[in-house]
Amino acid sequence: MPREFTRAERVSDAIQQEVSVLICDSIRDPRVGMVSVTDVEVSRDLAYAKVHVTFVGEKSEEEIKGAIGALNGAAGYLRKLLASSIKMRKTPQLTFLFDESGRRGQQLSALIDYAVSSEKNRGNIANDDSVDSKGN
C-alpha cells in the first residue's frame, strides 16, 4: 500500500504548526504583530524551508517588508527553538516570505461585488427607461 503523504509533506505540516506557535509565543518584535503561517514548502533533502506568512490587519508595503525582515532576522532563533521541539536529524533553514494570496483574494472579491452591483444598477436603469418610453 503506497504512502499517502511524503516525508517532506509531513515535515512541512509539522513545521507549519510549530512555527506558528513559536512566532506567537517567542517573537516580541512589534513590527511583526499578528502573523498567520499559511504554508511551508520544504526541500526534498529537508535542508531548507520556505515559510509563507500573512499578517492580520491592514499593513502597508513598508510595514510588510519590515515584518518579513524581522522574521528573517529571527529565523536562526526560531530554528533553534524548532530543533528542540521537533526531533529531526537536521532542522531546515527557515526563510520567511509574504503570501499575497489572501490580499489578492480580497481584491478579486471586491471587484466581483462591484461588477455584480453595477450590473444590477444597469438593469434597473434599463427598466426605468423602458417604462418612461411607454409614456408611464
CA-to-CA distance for 32 and 27, rounded, in angstroms? 8
- The pLDDT profile of the chain, 136 residues, written as one tens digit per residue, is 566 778 888 899 999 999 999 999 988 888 888 899 999 999 989 999 999 999 888 788 899 999 999 999 999 999 999 999 998 888 999 999 998 887 788 888 888 988 888 888 777 665 655 555 555 5
pTM of the entire predicted model: 0.75
In angstroms and rounded to an integer, the radius of gyration of the C-alpha atoms of the chain is 23
Place of cell 417604462: 131
HSE-up of residue 8 (Cα within 13 Å, Cβ side): 12
